[in-house]
Every structure is written in structure tokens, then in C-alpha cells.
Structure 1
Amino acid sequence: MILDELYDVLMDRKINPKEDSYTSKLIYHRKGINKILEKLGEECTELILAVKDGKREDIIYETADLIYHLLVLLVKLDIKLDEIWSELERRRR
């Protein structure tokens, strides 16, 4: 699944930071987790605006950005996707 693959790449950037990696820069930013939270808020707002404008391509693009930044947050916090899937499964019942 693409989310699992992306999560693994992001985790690798956390474990093996690369100087030219946007992901590594976010994870190790001097502002700490606040930088990731700022980006999450920004991407959420951009998605809301895209939906209001009704532009399908923009909605898809901004959704991908939001998911990426959410995954960066999860990696930063050492929360595994399986934990999220388990919670969703629990709620389904």
C-alpha cells in the first residue's frame, strides 16, 4: 500500500537524515514539532479552500499534501500506521 511505503521512506529520513531532504528538514527543524503542525494547518486550510473552489485537481493535490504532512507528524511522534488502522478497525465495530 502506498501509505505504508511512504511511511517507510519518511521513517528512513528520520533515522538517516539527509541534508537535502525536505522531510528530514521538517522532522529536525529548530522549531521542533511546531513546524510540522504549522505545515499541517497550512495544508488543511489549502484543502478547505480547494474544496470551496470546487477544483477537483486542486482538491487531489492538497489532499496529498495534507496526507504527506500528517505522515511526517506520525513519524516524528513514532506512531505506526498499524496503530491508526487498529483504531479505525475498533471504531468500525
Structure 2
Amino acid sequence: MADSIDRLFRAVQAAQGAKPSSSRTARLVHSDRAKIAKKVAEEATEVIIEAMDDHHDNVVRESADLVYNLTVLWAAVGVTPGEVWKEMHRREQLYGIAEKLAKRPPKARRKRVPPEGLRKRG
């Protein structure tokens, strides 16, 4: 699969040098980052909807659309598939292939004290 995504990424990079009118990919890569990010979000939502409806074949198709748009977003922000593979490898070495790093350590919970005027009197 990495080979397919690497080939797709190279095609997206080539589209960055093409006229926007030459292809759908060229038009998308020449649009602003917000539009590309919106496409990623739309495709992710479609994958979720199809998964919740248990539509296997549609999940496959929408997932391919998601990977395509994610690859376009990577190119737009200067991220290469190799960087993503490297991060996945790092995580595998630390936690195993099926684990994901926590976004950030959980904050320590503080006891909440109501403001002076809201405290119970007794």
C-alpha cells in the first residue's frame, strides 16, 4: 500500500506544477489549504457514515477518496509519505503497531472552589 500512496503523492506533486485546468488534482492542489482540508473532513465523514450503515463496499470507495484527499493535503503542507511512515515506525517500536500515542498527557484535576459569593453559608 505504501507504494500506491507514494505513487499517488508523486502524481500530486506533478499536478502542483500543472495548470489548474489540466485535471481535478491540479485544480485541487492549486486551491487554498482550507478547501483541501474541508475535502479531507468531508471524505472522513463519508467513511464514518458508510461504516455506521455497514456498507462495506462504500467504506472501501470512500476510504480511497479519503486517502487521495489526505495525500493532497500532505503535499500542500509539505509533508511526505515517508515522514508519515517514519512516525508510524517510531510508534510501532514504542507501543506496538496497533497503538496510538496520546495527544498530550492528561491534566491534573484541581478541586474547584466556587467564587466567594456563590459559596454555601452555614
Report how many aligned residue pairs link the two structures. Answer: 91
Distance in 1, Cα, partners of 2:91 & 2:55: 31
Counterpart code for 2:67: I
Identify unmatched segments of 5+ residues in structure 2: 94-122
Distance in 2, Cα, partners of 1:83 & 1:37: 19
Distance in 2, Cα, partners of 1:81 & 1:17: 24
Counterpart code for 1:27: V
Distance 1:18 1:34, change over 3 A: closer
Instruction: Give the alignment's Cα RMSD to 1 decimal.
Output: 1.1
1:60 aligns with 2:60: yes
Identify unmatched segments of 5+ residues in structure 1: none
List aligned pairs for 1:1-93, cutoff 5 A: 1-29=3-31, 32-93=32-93
Distance in 1, Cα, partners of 2:89 & 2:19: 33
TM-score (norm 1): 0.91
- Is the Cα contact below 8 Å between 2:12 and 2:29 reproduced in 1? no
- Secondary structure at the aligned position of 1:19 is classed as helix
Query: Which structure has greater helix proportion?
Result: 1
Shift of 1:18: 4.6
Shift of 1:66: 0.3
Counterpart code for 1:15: G
Counterpart code for 2:23: S
Counterpart code for 2:91: R
Structure 1 segments (4+ residues) deviating >2 Å: 15-18
Q: Which has the greater radius of gyration?
A: 2
- What percent identity do the matched residue pairs reach? 30
TM-score (norm 2): 0.71
Shift of 1:25: 1.0
Distance in 2, Cα, partners of 1:14 & 1:79: 14
